[in-house]
Amino acid sequence: MDFDDAIAVMAEHEIKHATDEPDDGFVMRQLALSLLSVSAGSQQLLYFAGSKFGKKLSFDAEDRVLVLEDVADLFDRWGYGELTVTDEEGTVIEIDESLFVDDLEPTTDKPVCFFLAGMIAGCLQSGCGEKHVVNEIACQAQDDEICRFKVREA
């Protein structure tokens, strides 16, 4: 479903469950879907905001894989999702239960984790000193089994 429909489903769901425990992911998910429904340019906006934030973080490691391990620890601590590096060069990253996907409701027809992609790129620039580009090629929001990201130097 498109972002507008996804927002409607979320809103209805949250009204029905208004007395349940607050959902930490709800605000982030709502913000991302609302921005993404406004214009395609919001993808770049969310990515840029994430990279800006990531660049402010500092890392002891300089090696890409080691920096990504530190990023995985941060993501774990902040509840951003379970980040795994799936190859030795650190060019493929998977995130399970991203903050922007949360309980997988509702599904969308496009990826939604642009903020996290940008943040990873920013962290890599901060740690390694090289500009990186991170693209989400699969997303649990669109019913893929995992959120998967390709990483390359810019």
Structure tokens at 148: 């998967």
Residue closer to Zn ion (CB basis): 125 or 140: 140
Helix axes 64-78, 114-128, angle to 10 degrees: 130
Q: Of 45-53, 58-66, 85-93, 109-117, which segment contacts Zn ion by CB under 5 A?
A: 109-117
Among residues 128 and 134, whose Cβ is nearest to Zn ion?
Answer: 134
Q: Considering the complex, what minimum distance in angstroms separates the CB of residue 148 from Zn ion?
A: 8
Between 113 and 128, name the residue whose CB sits nearer to Zn ion.
Answer: 113
The sign one gets for the Cα dihedral 116, 122, 127, 130 is positive
According to the binding rule CB under 5 A, does residue 134 interact with Zn ion? Answer: no
Tell whether residue 120 is a contact of Zn ion (CB under 5 A).
no
Judged by CB under 5 A, the residue of 7, 46, 68, 113 near Zn ion is 113
139 binds Zn ion (CB under 5 A): yes
Continuous H helices in the chain: 3-16, 24-38, 41-56, 64-78, 114-128
Nearest CB to Zn ion, comparing residues 107 and 126: 107
The pair phi, psi for residue 87, each rounded to 5°, is: -135, 165
* Torsion angle of the four alpha carbons 28, 32, 45, 5, in this order, in degrees rounded to the nearest 10: -170
Closest approach, Cβ 75 to Zn ion, in A, equals: 13
In the bound state with Zn ion, the residue whose beta carbon lies nearer, of 43 and 98, is: 98
Q: Token digits for 67?
A: 């920096």
Residues that bind Zn ion (CB under 5 A): 98, 113, 139, 147
